[in-house]
Structure 1
Amino acid sequence: MNDYARLLPLAQEAVDLARDLMRTLQPGALTFKGDRDMASELDYAIERAVREHLAAKAPEIGFLGEEYGSSGDTSALTWALDPVDGTVNFIHGSPLCAISLGLIHRTHSVLGVIDLPFLGTRYHAAQGHGAYANNRRIHASGVTDLKDAVVAIGDYAVGTGASRKNTERLAITEQLTQHVQRIRMHGSAAIDLAWLAHGRIDAFIMLNNKPWDTVAGVVIAREAGALVVDIDGTHHSVDAVATVGGNDLLLPPILALVRRALAGAAT
């Protein structure tokens, strides 16, 4: 088995570069990519800087970024970057935003670094080496009963098909309100997955899966002892349609709740 931890120092260097830009520069001009979907000038600047840095240091590894797409050989190993996860939070001055850099081997997450520049926390993991926050080992929550669980959910949808998608999301929210202790919407999938790993939330439900959002967080959560799966309970990969996480005892009732909600929304 490959020891992907050998690439952690390089990933950390790249995220250092991104963090410094994010902490010192303003968002700048906004580019609207669709209905209520935008990227800041800084999103693009960070992605260019990280892409160039990694291409110079490891040209054999492909790259996938949210803003500029794919480059290089993505058939085996591919970096996946969200330069500012939680752009809307960032441009509104909220500290709930992150830099997320992960590594994909074919279709699976094998390494991840997530930095929260305004909260002073960095998470990292490599397959088989555990998960860490500021270099201290972390573990996922041990909560096993829904009534004791804090569950984070992904953003409601915007753009094409938002009404149908939000019918499903609202149905899940309604089911959660009846069964869990609290619901949280942080506006950053990277933060949700990092906090799932850190035990700051007990479960996470997001009805989509974009690799730049999830690759880093999935391996961090798994290395902390959480399970992360697709909506049907199968192993999460870049091809998954959704992202659902929790510990081995909490995840089954969470999945059952989600499926019940989606079935109700479809009728």
Structure 2
Amino acid sequence: MTDLSRLLKIANEAVDIGREAATTSELGTVTSKGDRDMASEVDFAVEQAIRSHLAKITPDIEFLGEEEGRSGDSGDLLWVLDPIDGTANFVHGIPLVAISLGLVSGDESLAGVIDMPFLSRRYSGSRGGGSYCNERRIHGGKCDRLNDAIVAIGDYAVGDGSGERNRPRLALTALLAAKVQRVRMLGTAATDLAWVADGSLDASVMFNNKPWDTSAGVLIAREAGVAVLDTDGTQHTFNSRGTVAVAEQLAPELLALIAEASG
């Protein structure tokens, strides 16, 4: 049986190490990863520090990092890390940045830690154990009308084919702007999911699902009582195409808007 309490403690310790690297390292060289996508030396420093620590403490668990891919023997469990979620924010000095470390088994997230090093917030949770922000138990919001909701949307696509991929994103932006209280684009998926989990946001919609962005936040949101779905309304998994986190009572109306935007 997987000891989630022990592994969550290990995840928190690993993120402590990453947080130290994130807050003390120089930005250094910013490397292009394609059209308007980048990684800083801090991204690599945080990933290397966490990867090295977990390889020593949990050598039997495979590791997937955004910047340097997979390492370790394939097994039942997988650590999934985004060392700096929100690199564009980080490079520009915007403090909306998160370190996101999830633990996954197959298609299912089992535990997660999201640290916001410049906002002094840490979110964590494990399956069946609830979700917390700085030791405080958290729950999703109680908003029951989309008209009163604050909804975050993921970044617009860049790179090849971005025009076509942005059609549903732009269409949804217009639909939400006409319907909800406010639309937000924070630039960090992990923060979107954590803030839906604690009720700061009422929903978050992303037309993509990169596991390093979402594995920790999906677990934290679900343990806070939030519905986490694919954009077609099915239950979200590691292999879903999109990621929608929403208060249960708002899900039908929001999913209808997503379907309309998707055409």
Same fold (TM over 0.5): yes
SS in structure 2 of the partner of residue 13 of structure 1 = helix
* One-letter amino acid matched to 2:111: L
TM-score, normalising length: structure 1: 0.97
Find the counterpart in structure 2 of residue 166 from structure 1.
166
Find the counterpart in structure 1 of residue 132 from structure 2.
132
Find the counterpart in structure 2 of residue 7 from structure 1.
7
Residues in 1 aligned to 2:252 and 2:3: alpha-carbon distance in whole angstroms: 31
SS in structure 1 of the partner of residue 109 of structure 2 = strand
Find the counterpart in structure 2 of residue 209 from structure 1.
209
Shift of 1:26: 2.0
Residues in 2 aligned to 1:136 and 1:229: alpha-carbon distance in whole angstroms: 25
Find the counterpart in structure 1 of residue 96 from structure 2.
96
Find the counterpart in structure 1 of residue 249 from structure 2.
249
Find the counterpart in structure 2 of residue 51 from structure 1.
51
CA contact (8 A) 1:65 1:80 kept: yes
Asked if 1:153 is matched to 2:182, the reply is no
Shift of 1:24: 1.1
CA contact (8 A) 1:40 1:87 kept: yes
Aligned CA RMSD, in angstroms, stands at 0.9
Once structures 1 and 2 are overlaid, which stretch shifts more, 184-193 or 44-53? 44-53
Residues in 2 aligned to 1:9 and 1:184: alpha-carbon distance in whole angstroms: 32
Residues in 2 aligned to 1:233 and 1:3: alpha-carbon distance in whole angstroms: 31
CA contact (8 A) 1:107 1:237 kept: yes
Find the counterpart in structure 2 of residue 122 from structure 1.
122
| Alpha-carbon displacement from aligned partner over 1:57-113 (angstroms, at most 9, x marks no partner) | 000100000001111234410000000000000011111000000000111111000
* One-letter amino acid matched to 1:127: R
Alignment of 1:62-101 (within 5 A): 62-101=62-101
Find the counterpart in structure 1 of residue 186 from structure 2.
186
TM-score, normalising length: structure 2: 0.98
Find the counterpart in structure 2 of residue 258 from structure 1.
258
CA contact (8 A) 1:4 1:126 kept: yes
| Alpha-carbon displacement from aligned partner over 1:158-184 (angstroms, at most 9, x marks no partner) | 101110111111000011011110000
Find the counterpart in structure 1 of residue 32 from structure 2.
32
Find the counterpart in structure 1 of residue 21 from structure 2.
21
Shift of 1:3: 4.2
Shift of 1:219: 0.3
* One-letter amino acid matched to 1:129: G
| Alpha-carbon displacement from aligned partner over 1:192-247 (angstroms, at most 9, x marks no partner) | 00000010000000000000000000000000010101112111111000000112
Find the counterpart in structure 2 of residue 229 from structure 1.
229
Residues in 2 aligned to 1:103 and 1:252: alpha-carbon distance in whole angstroms: 29
Find the counterpart in structure 1 of residue 42 from structure 2.
42
Which consecutive residues of structure 1, in runs of 5 or more, have no partner in the other structure? none
* One-letter amino acid matched to 1:193: L
* Identical columns (%): 56
Residues in 2 aligned to 1:173 and 1:3: alpha-carbon distance in whole angstroms: 42
SS in structure 1 of the partner of residue 96 of structure 2 = coil
Residues in 1 aligned to 2:90 and 2:25: alpha-carbon distance in whole angstroms: 11
* One-letter amino acid matched to 2:211: P
SS in structure 1 of the partner of residue 99 of structure 2 = strand
Shift of 1:143: 0.6
SS in structure 2 of the partner of residue 111 of structure 1 = strand
* One-letter amino acid matched to 2:212: W
- Deviating above 2 A after TM superposition, structure 1's stretches of 4 or more consecutive aligned residues are none
CA contact (8 A) 1:5 1:127 kept: no
Which consecutive residues of structure 2, in runs of 5 or more, have no partner in the other structure? none
* One-letter amino acid matched to 2:45: A
